[in-house]
Amino acid sequence: MSDLDREIAEHYEQLELDPAAMDRLLAMEAAAPRRSRRTWWVAGALSTMTLAAALLCGVGVLQLGTRGGAELGPLPSPEEPRGSAYRRATPVRDRNPKSASDGSLIIIKGQDNRPRDGVYIPPGPPPRSEAPRASRPWTDTRVDPLSTFAADVDTAAWTRARTMLEHGQRPAPASVRVEEVVNAFPYDYRAPEDGVFAVGIEGLPSVYGADASLVRIGVQGRRVPPHLRKPVHLTFLVDVSGSMNGRPLELVRSGLKMLVGELRPDDTVAIATYAGGTAVVLQPTPGSERARILAALDGLRSGGSTSMASGIDLAYDLALSTYHPSAENRVIVASDGDANVGQTDPDALAARLRKAADRGITLTTIGVGGSVRGDQVMETLARKGDGQAFAVADERDAETVFVRGLTGTLQTLARDVKLQVAFDPGVVKRWRQVGYDNRVLADRDFRDDAVDAGEIGAGHQMTALYEVELHERPRGDVPMRLGVLRIRHEPPGAERGEATELELPLEGLVHDRFADASVDTRVATVAAGFASALQGQGPSLATLEDILPIRPEYREQDEELLRAIRQARALGM
């Protein structure tokens, strides 16, 4: 048992909490790194935290998940500002990691403890009410120091919210997912050289009004050049029901044509459609036969009701016909999500989606228009199908999804990515996660490979945010630590997960003033605050408008966020 886990246990005993709750914490597969049993403090406040690692002047970066549990190397950067520090991790070859008191990372060998018949069904979609959504509650660290959640790189909620505001409409609070708004914006996270992920951490004062810090955790997936990606076997499943008539179907057709233009001769494409019935429009066809694929897309016509479940069954049958273990096998569903015939509950499809995903056939959704319910259906399908949920409102979105983000969409780096932050009760009084409402996992499920989580593709980024309130620091030179971060993932094709853990030092990561944080952290913070405001419980829109920086390299995206804030203010939000 590590010092941190032992102190957590002592807190439980002092509070006379349920022993079963204590066992949940102490039943960890690997010991947490050691730390001093003293109280720490950090000046100012923390901002978004970019997952785990070596620090650099308020932003730490490290590499995770190297092949075979190899060394996690540093990211040397002589041009970084003063205060940067990188530490090399040491590989661990047994199940008892040594202390990482110097901030290094430890690789933990995964166990093949997957219950073969287990299917994880995450919480259902949020309520359809137009009422404001309640913010996530604060958690007393003495009662529960663990925060466990699945990775998420979806962006659909931002596209839908932006589109509604452009048309003078208020987005429904239930349709706004904070993490998807934050993840929709690009950040200059540093890519790993050898590992699967690079992660970092930075802090600034909270914009939510609490006397607390906001901590950012962000993950950058390894970038893969297009010519080095795996072959892909794609099955397009296109909704051609009456609700897709006109602009929606035309956007889908335009976007899929963009994607076809990026394919290689060793890729294949099949096309199926569904409305009141289902049909195979194009049998699996090599990417070299581009004219044939484009002609099939041009022939799509809409009309009729929507039998989504039957269409998904047909698409998976097509995908199985071209399945190859060394390729990326993916079903891409393009729809408004408004199913009205046959099975209309995406949860009822969970077993089929999970079985296909376990074999290596994933599902990505492209939402076009539709209702709040349709948006929730598309997000749920992607989550259960081990894919991503995107939305397309115009040609700009189509280019972003199908061209700029193509390699990340088509090449999976890591499956079932889970994150767990173990806050130190001696340092953190209480904590609150911002976003990831439907990605929360039970703490015990972190080590359970049968429990579904999120996928990260080549070049993908994800960002998570925490508000934390810290204890005061005693006098003297005391190291500052937030706690322990654990990350678990399955490499594609692997039968068991790999886990990594490290201490989260605070030294050099905290800024007393909002303006002193990096522009990426400030943009992510404003994006999260804006999403919370759309849910009815965020910071002042006027404040967000004032503090949003415009990054020259991402001017178009940042000005898009600024316009959305102003449009929301004009609607009296």
pLDDT tens for 139-149 read: 999 999 999 99
pLDDT tens for 467-498 read: 999 887 654 556 678 888 899 999 887 888 99
pLDDT, position 534:
96
Rg of the chain (C-alpha set): 23
Number of helices and strands (H, E) in the chain?
14, 20
Q: How many CA atoms lie within 13 A of 353 on its CB side?
A: 27
State the pLDDT confidence band at 233, using cuts at 50, 70 and 90.
Answer: very high
pTM higher than 0.85, yes or no? no
Token pair of 182 as six digits? 């934050």
Residue 104 has pLDDT above 60, yes or no: no
Q: Of 27, 81, 74, 76, nearest to 52 (Cα)?
A: 74
pLDDT, position 441:
96
Give DSSP secondary structure letters for 519-543.
HHHHHHHHHHHHHHHHTT-S--HHH
Distance of alpha carbon 111 from the chain centroid: 24
Q: How far apart are CA 370 and CA 159, in angstroms?
A: 12
Least confident of 258-272, 451-465, 472-486: 472-486
- Decide yes or no: CATH 3.40.50.300 for domain 231-410: no
Cα dist. 354→155, 330, 387 in Å? 22, 13, 11
State the pLDDT confidence band at 19, using cuts at 50, 70 and 90.
Answer: very low
DSSP annotation of 171: P
pLDDT, position 243:
83
Taking 3-state DSSP, the helix, strand and coil percentages for the chain, each rounded to the nearest 5, stand at 30, 25, 45
Average confidence (pLDDT) over 418-443: 94
Q: How many CA atoms lie within 13 A of 365 on its CB side?
A: 31
Tell me the pLDDT of the chain averaged across its residues: 76
DSSP annotation of 507: T
First to last CA, the chain: 50
State the pLDDT confidence band at 430, using cuts at 50, 70 and 90.
Answer: very high
Cα dist. 488→84, 414, 419, 445, 493 in Å? 26, 9, 7, 11, 15
Q: How far apart are CA 45 and CA 365, in angstroms?
A: 37
DSSP, collapsed to helix, strand or coil, labels residue 329 as: strand
Q: Considering only residues 86 and 556, tell me which one the structure prediction assigns the higher pLDDT.
A: 556
Residue 99 has pLDDT above 50, yes or no: no
Token pair of 84 as six digits? 């940067």
State the pLDDT confidence band at 1, using cuts at 50, 70 and 90.
Answer: low
For 463, the enclosing helix (H) or strand (E) is strand 461-470
Q: How far apart are CA 49 and CA 495, in angstroms?
A: 30
Do 11 and 142 meet the contact criterion of CB atoms below 8 Å apart?
Answer: yes
Q: Considering only residues 409 and 201, tell me which one the structure prediction assigns the higher pLDDT.
A: 201
Burial of 348 (0-12, 13-18, 19+ CB in 10 A): exposed
Token pair of 539 as six digits? 């910071």
Q: How far apart are CA 205 and CA 119, in angstroms?
A: 40
Token pair of 285 as six digits? 């066809």
Token pair of 186 as six digits? 């690009």
- Show Cβ contacts of residue 532 under 8 Å, excluding neighbours closer than 6 positions: 135, 178, 208, 434, 538, 539
Give residue limits of the domains in the chain.
Answer: 3-223+419-516, 231-410, 519-570
Token pair of 40 as six digits? 């720490």
Average confidence (pLDDT) over 222-226: 88
Q: How far apart are CA 32 and CA 419, in angstroms?
A: 14
Amino acid 534 reads L
Burial of 27 (0-12, 13-18, 19+ CB in 10 A): exposed
Average confidence (pLDDT) over 499-515: 83
